[in-house]
Structure 1
Amino acid sequence: MAGKKKGPGPGGPGANMMPGEKAKDFGKTMKTLVRYLSPYKFRLVAVFIFAIASTVFSIISPTILGDATDKVVEGLMGGMGIDFEGLLSILLLLLCLYGLSLLFGAAQGWIMADVSQKVIYNLRDKMSVKLDRLPLKFFDSKTHGEIQSRMINDIETVNQTLSVSLTQIITSFTTIIGILIMMLRISVLMTVTALVVLPLSMLVIRLIVSKSQGHFKNQQKYLGYVNGHVEEMYTGHDIVKAFNREEESQETFEKYNDKLCESAWKSQFLSGTMMPITNFIGNMAYVAVCLLGGNLAINGKISIGDIQAFIQYVRSFNQPISQVANVANQLQSTAAAAERIFELIDEEEEAGLDEAPEKVIDVDDVKGRVAFENIRFGYSPDETVIHDFSFVAQPGQRVAIVGPTGAGKTTIVKLLMRFYELEKGKITIDGYDITKLSRSNLREMFGMVLQDTWLNNGTIRENIRYGNPDATDKEVEAAAKAAHIDHFVKTQSKGYDMEVNEEATNISQGQKQLLTIARAFLADAPILILDEATSSVDTRTEALIQQAMTNLMKGRTSFVIAHRLSTIKDADHILVLNHGDIIEQGTHEDLLSQNGFYTNLYNSQFAQ
């Protein structure tokens, strides 16, 4: 099990998705997103109808209110008194229209929220499944921060658009068209007067968006820097203090924070001026309409109620235009976010995941003969790590793999587990090519203890049981005793129910190592892989673990990667690797007698 990687550094999750970022192929991305919406097309049609109905009822209301005003004016001007009965019927109709607008608006909001959450659920599920099926080389090429950004930030961006912006587009366009129709119905001349300022309003919106977009990008960029720096510094606060780098850390934080503050206030100031400026331009149209409407009313060409209705339409005309501009910008960010999501979903998976295995081996019948036949491998085409490796481990044999850093020791294990595919040669277990087995069938044959410990946020019992979910409490405790961690666990107030926190900082590194060893005991696999399994424990505990490991390895084929050569002196066979090739092999005594590379390694560790 891989250890936890450090979180995102500067430019982490916050920097990966920025407002105004554009997709490489907007059309293709949006078509793909529409395909995810297609199963809900009938609900979307209902949303469309309800949104239009809600908007139409809202648009009609000023005209009805204008009729009520005319009733009052007629009563006062005609000397007949106000027709309260007629006025009441108009006001009741107005109330019904407002109620219907609210009802249809709530209905379309409820349906769209349901649709958007189902789509987002589907996308999250696909991404989660995909991450489980991707090869290790994908994770080697991506930071954890980038993957987290796609799973969280990008998903939330798409969710926001589906749940809010989609219906806002419908209502905004319907409002614009509806208001234009109602304004033209009242007075063509007044409508033309009101629309004269529209190009100016659009120009101002475009100018403000173009100016603020760069500052928004910088805001997200430096927000990512601040988040990354904070995570790095406070995750490694003990190292910062040990090297007296608090002042330097604070200076770096202040530099990023200053840039963030500068870009944030500029972006927010510019975006904040959009509404006041567009309102000012709208007020110019409002004044012009009032003057023209007054002149028309004096000449008897329009009623006072129509003027009132028209003024309401003019006052509400700029809002949907601003919304359309904002949604258009939001769609660019949504397309960029969706594109990154779809790129992950479309990533190439591990080969043969969905193919039926040609052979299924019963783990209980595995003898443990492992053969490497002329294998060749490189993490990239121009970087060969293993050149021509051949070796046969007999059932029950303890094989130690030693060599300098970068010799290819851990790579051999990764190939054995089929985390990567070979360029040449083959690996067999009991004569069966591992490429003919399913990965799950292959990996259940192995128990692993790695140098980088990984514990999840849960109890000690749950972490040990990770090796065998069906194990009983007695079996968990037996595994803990075998790994010499039982005594420590029982000294804790909650015993095996003690919670291991998120970063496992409430237990020592050596205790974490012992828990992962207990997990391997519980897995009870026929083949063991021990990669520097005792590197984090003291000498006394190491001796106890070596004794326990000796018992564990009896009857099992074991591969032990070690830098401390004292831990593998009793191995049945030692492979000495350098630059991806076996340069020496034999028992500890045989290798020392050769007075070669292994002897030099051994002497460098134990020379006085």
Structure 2
Amino acid sequence: MENKSQSKILNRVLIELKAYDLQILVSVLCALATVVLQLRIPILTGRAVDCIIGPAEIDYDGLIFILKEISLNVVATGFIQWVMNRVNNNITYTITKNFRDRAFAKLQHMKLAEIDSHPHGDFVSRIVADAETFSDGLLMGFTQLFTGVLTILGTIYFMVIISWKIALVVIIATPFSLLLARFISERTYKYFGDQAKLRGDETSYIEEIIINKNIVRNMDYEDRALQNFEDMNNKLADASMRATFYSSTVNPSTRLINNLIYASVGVFGALMSIGGGITVGGLTSFLYYASGYGKPFNEISGVITEFQNALACAERLFVMIDAEVEVNNGNANIDSAKGEIEFKDVSFSYDKSKKLIEHLNLKVEPGKRVAIVGPTGAGKSTIINLLMRFYDIDAGEILIDGTDIRDIDIDNLRRNFGMVLQETWLKNATIKENLKMASPNATDDEIIEAAKATHAHSFIKRMPYGYDTILSPENGSLSQGQMQLLCITRVMLNIPRMLILDEATSSIDTRTEQKIQSAFNKMMKGRTTFVVAHRLSTIREADVILFVKDGQIVEQGNHTELLQKDGYYAKLYRSQIA
């Protein structure tokens, strides 16, 4: 099964390389020229030896001519190798760059279900570490595989010309090196695959601990985190040791066989030389070929070993590149939508074996403010995810102005929703650049006006460079609440027809929240708005409040009506007020 998988990945890599046919041809021709020039040197060396006939009998003219020819060979070989290396580097790093681009591009459109089902650090490991390992293996393949194979064939050719009888000894012993290398390489692929996977798991764990470092320390979790990391690291070390052990046995094993071949050639050639079957110069050339004959086998064995690692990493990259993307087969446009939203008999669950939302029906009139409350895990954020098509429903319809959202262009759908989430995200750029993400043409005055409305202007002015201060994860210059205010400001700059506020003020203190409530009211006026909130004081003015429990709307009405019902909402509200 592993051999089939490996063969499939190799074929995929070869297909990817077809785009570089011309450059590969240049590389092969350069490798051929390099091998021919290098293999001529032993022949020329043998002729130079034969120019020395005796102590006082030396053909100086012939010797000088041969030495000049050897010098030219060396210079030409060096230049051609330089050209070959440039071409090989260009092929290798270009295809690796393309792999990274495609993997990262796929990540932008990959289904959220696929992303959520993997540790995020694993994706980082694939794009960075696995692509680098693949690059190294591919480069070794180009730089050593072509020249190695051609050197073996060329060496056999020249040895046959000098003495086919001695060459026969070398050729008969050759399959033993090949079979041994194949036997070992088949076992390295599995271990290199395990190594790549465990490296991804370890990257994910490190990322998780760093992101949650405050909680780790607060919960006194350092020792357990260290123990977990040591366990993972031990597994990675074990897989790496196994992969390295099998791969490192190739070179000494093949070298042993090649040394035995060299010794056999020396003994057999010496006997032939004594009998006059070969000249001393010819035997010198042959021994040179015999000693160099084993080197390309060792190099090819090393290439095969590294290529196992490269293929294992390529497989992980291909899995990511081939992952399912969001289906966007709609072409409807809702830029002029009124904002009427309807859920008709909607059913959905993340895990198909566990029911979540079943037969949900809800109709929201244009411009109405809808608040969604309920216990954790009830399905509040799931409703938002379905509305934004982060996940597709299993059954039913979600309509905007009577149009099924699956018939709407997915980019157009999302452009018409403004979102402020509990999880803040600011890119590594200036504050101004972060605020202009949704509105690239916003003027400085518009940015400042929006920031004042959200009460972010005051702390921005206190930053070292004001709106031009660069934000980055490393400097820790903003609190979570300040980051959330910037996210709210970002939406204020370009307010679409419909809004989603999912715990939009969860990290903001109550006083600041009260201050920006007027800005929120202005932002929501005339716009269909969904508000997910745990603090019920923030949603009392909502037109409709939905209490969601186990994926179902169990109560519906405005604040006053729900208090009078004395049901789930009333109990939750009284518990917060108390």
Please, what TM-score do these two structures have when normalized by structure 2?
0.91
Distance in 1 separating the partners of 2:236 and 2:95? 34
Distance in 1 separating the partners of 2:352 and 2:393? 12
Higher mean C-alpha displacement, 237-246 vs 222-231: 222-231
Pick the aligned partner of 1:591 from 562, 566, 571. Answer: 562
Aligned residues: 578
- Tell me what 2:70 maps to: 94
Pick the aligned partner of 2:268 from 283, 288, 292. Answer: 292
Distance in 1 separating the partners of 2:543 and 2:277? 108
Alignment of 1:502-581 (within 5 A): 502=473, 505-581=476-552
1:228 is displaced (CA, Å) by 5.0
1:401 is displaced (CA, Å) by 0.8
Pick the aligned partner of 2:451 from 480, 485, 491. Answer: 480
1:291 is displaced (CA, Å) by 3.3
Pick the aligned partner of 2:334 from 361, 364, 369. Answer: 361
Structure 2 residue identity aligned to 1:465: K
Using a 3 Å threshold, how does the CA distance of structure 1 residues 266 and 555 change in structure 2: closer, same or farther? Answer: closer
Distance in 2 separating the partners of 1:273 and 1:32? 28
1:64 is displaced (CA, Å) by 0.9
Using a 3 Å threshold, how does the CA distance of structure 1 residues 27 and 190 change in structure 2: closer, same or farther? Answer: same
Cα offsets for 1:100-123 (capped at 9, x unmatched): 222332222222322333333333
Using a 3 Å threshold, how does the CA distance of structure 1 residues 596 and 219 change in structure 2: closer, same or farther? Answer: closer
Using a 3 Å threshold, how does the CA distance of structure 1 residues 567 and 347 change in structure 2: closer, same or farther? Answer: same
- Tell me what 2:464 maps to: 493
- Tell me what 2:34 maps to: 54
Q: SS of the counterpart of 2:534?
A: coil
Distance in 1 separating the partners of 2:228 and 2:323? 36
Using a 3 Å threshold, how does the CA distance of structure 1 residues 228 and 561 change in structure 2: closer, same or farther? Answer: closer
Using a 3 Å threshold, how does the CA distance of structure 1 residues 370 and 455 change in structure 2: closer, same or farther? Answer: same
Distance in 2 separating the partners of 1:347 and 1:150? 13
Distance in 1 separating the partners of 2:158 and 2:453? 83
1:175 is displaced (CA, Å) by 0.9
Using a 3 Å threshold, how does the CA distance of structure 1 residues 22 and 466 change in structure 2: closer, same or farther? Answer: farther
- Tell me what 2:371 maps to: 400
Cα offsets for 1:278-335 (capped at 9, x unmatched): 4454344333433333333233221121121111111111111122223333333333
Cα offsets for 1:115-155 (capped at 9, x unmatched): 33333333333333322222222212222123223322333
Q: SS of the counterpart of 1:388?
A: strand
Q: Is the 8 A contact 1:361 1:441 kept in 2?
A: yes
Distance in 1 separating the partners of 2:359 and 2:246? 63
The reply to whether residue 63 of structure 1 matches residue 43 of structure 2 is: yes
Pick the aligned partner of 1:103 from 79, 87, 92. Answer: 79
Q: SS of the counterpart of 2:349?
A: strand
Higher mean C-alpha displacement, 456-465 vs 100-109: 100-109
Distance in 2 separating the partners of 1:280 and 1:228? 42
- Tell me what 1:11 maps to: none
Distance in 1 separating the partners of 2:227 and 2:103? 38
Distance in 1 separating the partners of 2:351 and 2:201? 30
1:53 is displaced (CA, Å) by 1.6
Q: SS of the counterpart of 1:352?
A: coil
Using a 3 Å threshold, how does the CA distance of structure 1 residues 532 and 41 change in structure 2: closer, same or farther? Answer: same
Distance in 1 separating the partners of 2:316 and 2:227? 34
Cα offsets for 1:584-607 (capped at 9, x unmatched): 111101100011111111122223
The reply to whether residue 324 of structure 1 matches residue 300 of structure 2 is: yes
Higher mean C-alpha displacement, 288-297 vs 270-279: 270-279
- Tell me what 2:161 maps to: 185
The reply to whether residue 172 of structure 1 matches residue 148 of structure 2 is: yes
Q: SS of the counterpart of 1:577?
A: strand
Q: Is the 8 A contact 1:534 1:545 kept in 2?
A: no
Q: Is the 8 A contact 2:196 2:312 kept in 1?
A: no
Pick the aligned partner of 1:452 from 423, 430, 449. Answer: 423
- Tell me what 2:102 maps to: 126
- Tell me what 1:10 maps to: none
Using a 3 Å threshold, how does the CA distance of structure 1 residues 429 and 223 change in structure 2: closer, same or farther? Answer: closer
Q: SS of the counterpart of 1:451?
A: coil
Distance in 2 separating the partners of 1:395 and 1:217? 54
Structure 2 residue identity aligned to 1:56: V
Q: SS of the counterpart of 1:379?
A: coil
Alignment of 1:12-91 (within 5 A): 22=2, 25-71=5-51, 73-74=52-53, 76-77=54-55, 79-80=56-57, 82-91=58-67
Using a 3 Å threshold, how does the CA distance of structure 1 residues 534 and 504 change in structure 2: closer, same or farther? Answer: farther
1:517 is displaced (CA, Å) by 0.8
1:195 is displaced (CA, Å) by 5.2
Distance in 2 separating the partners of 1:129 and 1:210? 33
1:467 is displaced (CA, Å) by 2.3
Alignment of 1:215-226 (within 5 A): none
Cα root mean square deviation, aligned: 2.9
Q: Is the 8 A contact 1:446 1:526 kept in 2?
A: yes
Structure 2 residue identity aligned to 1:525: P
Structure 1 residue identity aligned to 2:404: D
Pick the aligned partner of 1:242 from 206, 218, 232. Answer: 218
Q: Is the 8 A contact 1:400 1:574 kept in 2?
A: yes
- Tell me what 1:338 maps to: 314
Structure 2 residue identity aligned to 1:60: R
Q: Is the 8 A contact 1:22 1:333 kept in 2?
A: no
- Tell me what 1:142 maps to: 118
The unaligned stretches of length 5 or more in structure 1 are 1-20
Higher mean C-alpha displacement, 291-300 vs 533-542: 291-300
Distance in 1 separating the partners of 2:45 and 2:137? 34
Distance in 2 separating the partners of 1:27 and 1:263? 22
Q: SS of the counterpart of 1:427?
A: strand
Cα offsets for 1:158-179 (capped at 9, x unmatched): 3334333134222111111111
Distance in 1 separating the partners of 2:127 and 2:548? 40
Distance in 1 separating the partners of 2:158 and 2:50? 17
Q: Is the 8 A contact 1:372 1:389 kept in 2?
A: yes
1:264 is displaced (CA, Å) by 5.7
Q: Is the 8 A contact 2:370 2:546 kept in 1?
A: yes
Using a 3 Å threshold, how does the CA distance of structure 1 residues 48 and 231 change in structure 2: closer, same or farther? Answer: same
The reply to whether residue 413 of structure 1 matches residue 413 of structure 2 is: no
- Tell me what 1:18 maps to: none
Structure 2 residue identity aligned to 1:148: V
The unaligned stretches of length 5 or more in structure 2 are none
Distance in 2 separating the partners of 1:196 and 1:472? 80
Q: Percent identity?
A: 38
Pick the aligned partner of 2:278 from 279, 302, 321. Answer: 302
The reply to whether residue 428 of structure 1 matches residue 408 of structure 2 is: no
The reply to whether residue 156 of structure 1 matches residue 132 of structure 2 is: yes
Using a 3 Å threshold, how does the CA distance of structure 1 residues 214 and 526 change in structure 2: closer, same or farther? Answer: closer
1:445 is displaced (CA, Å) by 1.0
Distance in 2 separating the partners of 1:127 and 1:250? 31
Higher mean C-alpha displacement, 36-45 vs 221-230: 221-230
Distance in 1 separating the partners of 2:133 and 2:220? 40
Distance in 2 separating the partners of 1:447 and 1:435? 19
1:262 is displaced (CA, Å) by 6.7
Q: Is the 8 A contact 1:130 1:345 kept in 2?
A: yes
Q: Is the 8 A contact 1:215 1:266 kept in 2?
A: yes
Q: Is the 8 A contact 1:157 1:334 kept in 2?
A: yes
Q: SS of the counterpart of 1:179?
A: helix
Please, what TM-score do these two structures have when normalized by structure 1?
0.86
Higher mean C-alpha displacement, 555-564 vs 381-390: 381-390
Using a 3 Å threshold, how does the CA distance of structure 1 residues 382 and 259 change in structure 2: closer, same or farther? Answer: closer
1:346 is displaced (CA, Å) by 2.9
Structure 1 residue identity aligned to 2:572: L
Q: Is the 8 A contact 2:193 2:312 kept in 1?
A: no
